[in-house]
Amino acid sequence: MGFGHRVYKNYDPRAKIVRKVADEVFAIVDREPLIEIAMALEKIALEDEYFVKRKLYPNVDFYTGVIYKAMGFPTDMFPVLFTIPRTAGWLAHWSEFLDDPDNRIVRPRQIYKGAGVRSYVPIAERDQAAVPKVNAELRSTSSSTSRRRNAASHANKQKK
């Protein structure tokens, strides 16, 4: 996720909107340091022969992850957050497929091929040496809870 789209062969118009939303979110919850890296990657990709030749441009998900991080969502929740808005579209395609015998829209089946049952080890019992170290520059200065609380209080002030 992040670059390329099977429909948009030019810059994804939704990505431009999400980039502007990112600035609005940063005005509320502080600027996420990863945005600088994302903007640099975008600039490099838009000038790189590989990306230009294949018409790979930032898609709607490129900046969304940075927004989610700024809002304080844990990274392991990103797949769920990316999936939630797509669910309505997936259900609509499935409904169209079932209702219209002439419908040519066919989506590939999603078959989970990952691990079956896995044992869970509580965090307190895990080997801390195996936990990857996070670059101190990428760490947030405020907790997820305080970021969401700040965003909610800002939204409530806007309504008044």
The model's pLDDT over 72-116, given as tens digits with 9 standing for 90+, comes to 898 889 889 989 988 988 888 788 778 877 766 666 667 778 888
| Closest to 85 in 3D by CA, of 9, 152, 143, 18 | 18
Among all residues, which ones are annotated catalytic?
5, 61
Pairwise CA distance, residues 156 & 47, whole Å = 42
Q: What is the mean predicted confidence (pLDDT) over 51-75?
A: 86
Q: Which residues contact 34 (CB under 8 A, 6 or more apart)?
A: 66, 69, 138
Three-state DSSP class for 110?
coil
Q: What is the mean predicted confidence (pLDDT) over 23-45?
A: 87
pLDDT score for 138: 55
Residue 142 binned pLDDT confidence (cut-offs 50, 70, 90): low
Three-state DSSP class for 3?
strand
Q: What is the mean predicted confidence (pLDDT) over 139-151?
A: 67
